[in-house]
Amino acid sequence: MTDNTPRIDHVVLWVRDPVGAAGFYERALGMEPLRVTEYAAGTVSFPSVRLNEETIFDLAPLTLAERMTMVPGAADSAGHPVNHVCVALGQDDFDALRDRLQRQAVPVSAITHDAYGARGMARRSFYFRDPDGNVVEARHYD
C-alpha cells in the first residue's frame, strides 16, 4: 500500500486467552486470524486478527504487561480494556453480524440510530463485548 493518508493501523486489546480471542473475532466478525499457530508455538508474543487490508487487532496476553516499559506506568494498563472499538460495516454485514452474535448467545445492546462517527452520522449501531470484556461497537452508514 502506498497511500500515506493517516489511518488506524492497529488496536491492541488485552486478553486472557489470545487463541480463544482470535477464535471469537473470527467467528463473530469474520476477521482473519494471524500468527495464531506461531503464538501457540511460542515463536511470537501475540497473535492478531485482520479487520481489513490495512487494520488489525493485536491480542496481547495479560502476561505481556511486565514488558510494557515504553512509558512509565504502561504496565498498569494490563487488564483495562479500552472504552470501545468501533467497526463500520455495510448494512448486510451489520445485520449478519447481529444475527451471528445472537445465535452464539453473545449479548448485544439495543440498536441506536444516527450516532456520530468518523464518516458522519451512522444510520444504526449496536454494542457487544468480547470474552475479555472489551466493548465493540458495530455500525453502518449506508
- Chunked in runs of 10, what are the mean pLDDT values of the chain (142 residues)? 68 92 95 97 95 91 77 67 82 95 94 88 91 88 84
Asked whether 35 and 45 are in contact (CB, 8 A), the reply is: no
Half-sphere exposure of 108 (CA within 13 A, CB side): 21
**Residues 135, 112: Cα–Cα separation, whole Å:** 15
Question: How confident is the model at residue 75, as a pLDDT?
Answer: 64
DSSP code, position 109: P
Question: How confident is the model at residue 14, as a pLDDT?
Answer: 87
Type of residue at 126: F
What's the pLDDT tens digit per position in 55-82? 999 998 988 877 766 566 766 767 666 7
Nearest Cα to Cα of residue 55 among 100, 88, 78, 96: 88
Residue 92 backbone phi and psi in degrees, to 5: -65, -40
Nearest Cα to Cα of residue 18 among 70, 64, 76: 64
Question: How confident is the model at residue 56, as a pLDDT?
Answer: 93
**Residues 9, 48: Cα–Cα separation, whole Å:** 12
Half-sphere exposure of 61 (CA within 13 A, CB side): 14
pTM (2 d.p.)? 0.77
Question: How confident is the model at residue 72, as a pLDDT?
Answer: 67
Question: How confident is the model at residue 1, as a pLDDT?
Answer: 46
